[in-house]
């Protein structure tokens, strides 16, 4: 799948589940729960031990059901490892131009992290079609609305402290999608084997996205 197709899919599904700090042993059950709840994009954070192998396993088993990406990618070297593991999109909490370049080389979608208009424009000028506004929960939905005013050409994903209480506000403010971590894939729930609760939370976010978009 080409990078523009991945972007269109991310905009369509609206939610990216962030998997962080879990074990390979729980990976399939987490993925099954997210898919059962309607999630169609999963990001494995690269500060999780064995992240590259997790991406490989997810791509091998679920590539026809979900987009699989890598998160917390800080440099081009890590991005390349993730890409070779099968990641179709790469997210970073910060703006690293070399990360964008390596993604473009492999036709993989880069989602660099930004927190200012200058960073957003810099990312755009260097080829990023979508940016990750981080930490979105600190800035609030209105910050994205203000950014989108003069920068309507740049797609924005809200990540960081997004929950069911503020989720709709971020979408209404102009975020085309959101990244959700512990509010969705809570490691305590994983440890307790409460995968039904993860599926329930996933469905709640999916339904909220549909409501905002009138689906």
Side-by-side strand order, sheet with 155-159 = 109-111, 89-91, 67-71, 41-45, 15-19, 177-180, 155-159, 130-133, 113-114
Determine whether 211 is an active site residue.
no
The single residue of 43, 57, 148, 183 carrying the catalytic annotation is 43
The CA-based angle 71-150-69, given to 5 degrees, is 15
Name the active-site residue from 9, 40, 57, 132.
132
SS3 sequence of 137-170: HHHCHHHHHHHHCCCCCCEEEEECCCCCCCHHHH
| 192 annotated active-site | no
Query: Which residues does the annotation mark as catalytic?
Result: 43, 132
């Amino acid at each position: 799948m080409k990078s523009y197709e991945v972007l269109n899919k991310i905009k369509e599904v609206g939610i990216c589940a962030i998997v962080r700090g879990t074990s390979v042993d729980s990976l399939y059950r987490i993925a099954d729960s997210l898919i059962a709840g309607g999630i169609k994009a999963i990001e494995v954070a690269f500060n999780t031990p064995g992240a590259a192998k997790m991406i490989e396993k997810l791509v091998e088993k679920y590539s026809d059901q979900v987009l699989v990406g890598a998160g917390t990618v800080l440099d081009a070297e890590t991005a390349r490892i993730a890409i070779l593991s099968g990641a179709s999109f790469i997210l970073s909490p910060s703006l690293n131009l070399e990360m964008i370049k390596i993604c473009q080389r492999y036709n993989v979608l880069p989602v660099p992290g930004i927190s200012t208009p200058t960073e957003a424009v810099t990312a755009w000028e260097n080829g990023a079609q979508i940016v990750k506004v981080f930490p979105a929960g600190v800035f609030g939905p209105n910050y994205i609305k203000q950014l989108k005013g003069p920068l309507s050409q740049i797609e924005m994903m809200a990540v960081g402290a997004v929950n069911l209480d503020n989720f709709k506000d971020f979408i209404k403010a102009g975020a085309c999608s959101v990244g959700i971590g512990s509010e969705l894939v809570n490691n305590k729930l994983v440890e307790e084997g409460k995968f039904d609760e993860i599926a329930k939370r996933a469905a709640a976010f999916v339904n909220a996205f549909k409501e905002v978009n009138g689906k």
